[in-house]
Structure 1
Amino acid sequence: MLDQRWHPGDSGILVVVFSQVRIPAGKFGLERLFQRTRHSCLFLNDLSGGWYRGLDETIDAAVSNALARPGSRPGTAPTRIIYYGSSMGGYGALRTALRRGDGDLHAFGTELCLGRPGSRSLAAGVTASGLAHDLPEAHPDTARRTLRLYFGCFDGTDALNAARAADLLPQALLHCLASTHGSHDHLYTLNLIRRITGTFQRDPETELASKGLILHPSLAALTDFGQLFERFATGECPAPETLSALPEFDRNPGMRALAAEFEARAGQTEAALCRLELLEREIDADPVWQGLPKRWRKKLPLRRVEILRDSGDPVRARAALQAACTTFPVDDQMVALGATLGLALHVKSS
């Protein structure tokens, strides 16, 4: 089922905004971002969580209807289309932009092959198709459109899909970011998203460079990182050296965090703990890394807590969790983790 909402504007631009997964009925992802925009907006939400597959005709009807609507002032009906989304929404936006060929694209953290090990689509119940990719054939008119793909290359799934995009979508502009899968939230926090979406005229590359977020990675290294992440997600235990030998390793916190997971699975507990603790300190000291989404940064100390607990060291685990509570606001995950250690933590009411 496709939920939809229309917001009139007077900029002459129609932004078709595809929601992320698990947005409840009546709500729409990224709606707050476009709350005060001058653009006309069509908000879409795949309530089935199926990555917008099987909804092509419904999406087409919704877009056609939106284009036929008047703007908020006479003479301001939309004449330009932007397809926009993150994660599941990024896939929906990319799929629609390729299929229709009538609009530009801004898609963040998009999977090109759904249901792969460790992916968000698989976690949501989307199974792999067995194809090399799940994208429709590009409409001939896409050659006249600007397709922008943004990937947080500190994430294994994003890294692998960035490398795939370079191969499968050579017509697209690829933005490899010093960020995580939550790159859209990251850029929103840094006020970069509003600069990009305000008029859709500014060069995103210039805006991203202003915050030091642009990476120029080896696509081979991104492929290796992503494939090692998928192997780990299927239960394998690759050697940490398979990651640390990659040329991007020292400047990619995601690779280093994954190496710690390899060590933990191999029983190298102290090595994993030391690697994570060193990484946390370096993130705190790095002017770019310290701006990474807090929910990603928080995973590192909480993972240390879990490793300590599971290795039979509750005293150090409790101390590590209490230290994390002084850096990050206590949430439900931390409360649940504390309960396994005999610590009574409480979420602070806002």
Structure 2
Amino acid sequence: MDHPTSASRHGRLDSLLKHGESKLLVIVFSQVRVPAGKFGLERLFAKTRHNCLFLNDTGSDWYLGLEHAIDAALSAAMGEVSPERMIYYGSSMGGYGALLTGLRRQDGDTHAFGPELRLGRSGYQSTAYEIDANDQRLVDFKSLAETYSHELNLYFGCFDAVDAAGAIAANELLPKARRHLLRSTHANHDHLYSLNIIRRLIRTFERDPARELASKQLNCDITANDLRAFGDLGEALASDAVVDPADITELEAFQANPGLMRLAAETYARAGDLDKALETMEKAEALVESDPVLQGLPKRWRKQLPLQRVNWFFKAGQTEMARQLLTETLERFPADEAMLTLAKQLSLGSTASK
């Protein structure tokens, strides 16, 4: 059965309301790079019975300053579907939008995957989109959370330095939140989808996320000290500070965390120790490939590990090694623009076109 939809635009905010049969209204915030007229996660939620309000900040400005536009879209949607319950939902930039709006409005539960709680820091995606840490539109999450009475679920991938920092910030700013620390990356929503967790959660929004995550061995056993160190060291490396690889390799979580291994490999490379960099990155790859849960990590993250080794071989003048590894990588993962560029530089045009 087809359900009516209605679209509108408020400045840089696009919205689309899809009518459903349940009593839920799910407000779904798009991630970055979703073009105007399109909406993140639209196909996912199209398979549910829920009323869905899709929102997209077409300026990729982290939904800052869009309070009035969001409220107008919500008021119109609520007038049409009269929901009994509301859910704010999003990943990455969308996770920030969901968290920001859920805390501000305080009229529904929130599920935010990989939100950056402190925007504009070195190595953060928000910084790449020119969000400043001192932007006057930023809000005080801690004060908003003091009166928040709904369920707040935050999902962080412990293989990502920014997510690790977010998990620590959440503990300080949002102590009432349910923090889900995952054996995953920043793109943990995609990872959870591949393991059928997302579809089970969103079907009714009545399942316990912690129980679902535990059923797939996704919980990450990592100390607050290691999370904080990972976030700090990742930010330091992104700001071109000198990082001692030992500060990473001596962390308790290092041997079970391919994200920490990747960070250590990059510090070895910066220090000019190519052999150690290659060895450590290859160790991270082996860990991912040996674990059934980690094999479900998004391919766009997994392929960055061998591709970094290709680049290191290439820069070191070990062209044949670079060619061989890139050929193997192209056989395992879909080619993207960076891979095709590398292939051209290494004279692998015919292989890359397969």
Q: TM-score range by the shorter chain?
A: over 0.9
CA contact (8 A) 1:332 1:347 kept: no
Among candidates 197, 202, 219, match of residue 197 of structure 1 = 202
Q: Distance in 1 between matches of 2:211 and 2:256?
A: 21
Q: What is the alpha-carbon distance in structure 1 between the residues aligned to residue 242 and residue 274 of structure 2? A: 14
Q: Which amino acid aligns with 2:76?
A: N
Q: How far, CA to CA, are the matches of 2:125 and 2:267 in structure 1?
A: 21
| 2:279 pairs with one of 244, 250, 274 | 274
| 1:60 aligned residue | 71
**Structure 1 CA distance for aligned equivalents of residues 107 and 146 of structure 2:** 10
- Distance of aligned partners of 1:54 and 1:259 in 2 relative to their CA distance in 1, 3 Å threshold: same
Residue 244 (structure 1) aligned with residue 249 (structure 2): yes
Residue 8 (1) aligns with residue 13 (2): no
Matches within 5 A, 1:80-229: 80-129=85-134, 134-136=139-141, 137-138=143-144, 141-142=147-148, 144-229=149-234
Structure 1 segments unaligned to the other structure (5+ residues): 71-76
Q: Normalising by structure 2, what TM-score?
A: 0.93
Give the deviation of 1:326 after TM superposition: 2.2
- Partners of 1:134 and 1:251 in 2: how far apart? 36
Give the residue type in structure 2 aligned to 1:170: P
Deviation at 1:135, TM superposition (A): 3.9
Residue 17 of structure 1 pairs with residue 28 of structure 2: yes
Asked whether 1:28 is paired with 2:39, we answer: yes
Partner of 2:7: none
Distance in 1 (alpha carbons) for counterparts of 2:135 and 2:318 = 43
| 1:41 counterpart residue number | 52
2:352 is the counterpart of 1:346: yes
Label 1:225 to 1:124 Cα distance change in 2 as closer, same or farther (>3 A).
Answer: same
Match of 1:73 in 2: none
CA distance in 2, matches of 1:297, 1:256: 13
Match of 2:8 in 1: none
Mapping for residues 297-316 of structure 1, pairs under 5 Å: 297-316=302-321
Is the contact made by 1:260 and 1:272 (CA closer than 8 Å) also made in structure 2?
Answer: yes
- Equivalent residue of 2:132, what SS? coil
Per-residue deviation, 1:320: 1.0
Which amino acid is 1:217 matched to? Answer: I
Deviations 1:114-154 (A, max 9, x none): 111001101112121179x7445316651x20000000110
Q: Classify the secondary structure of the residue corresponding to 1:33.
A: helix
CA contact (8 A) 1:308 1:317 kept: yes
CA distance in 2, matches of 1:40, 1:130: 34
Percent of paired sites with the same residue? 51
Quick one: distance in 1 between partners of 2:252 and 2:131?
33
Q: What residue in structure 1 maps to residue 326 of structure 2? A: 321
Unaligned runs of 5+ in 2: 1-11
**AA paired with 1:10?**
E
Amino acid in the other structure paired with 2:33: R
1:242 partner letter: D
